[in-house]
Amino acid sequence: MNLAIKNMVCDRCIMVVRQQLENTGFQVEEISLGGAKIQPEASSEQLSAISSSLKVLGFELIDNEKDRIVQRVKDLVVEKVHYSDLADAHLSFSDYLSDQLNKDYTYISRMFSESEDTTIEKFIIQQKIAKVKELLEYGELNLNEIAFKMGYSSSAHLSAQFKSVTSLTPSQFKSSGQGQREPIDKI
């Protein structure tokens, strides 16, 4: 049985959800951001128990197709932006999402916008800026290296986008010591 699960954004989320599912008596065959495949098939009462136990931990079971698609888009974007190297500037998120979801991008984009009151493009930018903030705080890379790593054409492009989202330049953000990053699932 496949479960779609909202708010899974990192490896620790995967670990916690796995433990919770196993504690409720299910064998986890596969698990990744946004979902799990369990055995045996869960009854409606068991699904309700799983839902309640996950809700306490900040996760939610998703039961309709629209919400599943939207959550899958979020999971794919978070995975790509936060856990991959975007230095390959040839990445087209629209092609990537269409391929991964096996659906037309226009359909995916419309579903996402209706559900989230923002576009996929704006969501991607928010995720990228969150990752840039993290990299700036670590201080291990200079702005040019961060721009390259995040798939920006230049550090000037990154700086302009950063300022339009945060109202600060990257150097102002770094020197301000703001360090108030939002959790990935709140972006």
**Complete domains list, the chain, with CATH:** 2-63 (3.30.70.100), 65-187 (1.10.10.60)
pLDDT-derived band at 73, boundaries 50, 70, 90: very high
- Alpha-helical runs (H) found in the chain: 11-23, 44-56, 65-83, 93-101, 105-116, 120-138, 143-149, 155-166, 170-176
Which amino acid type is present at position 123? F
Please give the pLDDT value at position 19.
Answer: 94
pLDDT given at position 182: 61
Selected residue with higher pLDDT from 84 and 41: 41
Banded model confidence at residue 44, pLDDT cuts 50, 70, 90? confident
Question: Which pTM does this prediction carry?
Answer: 0.75
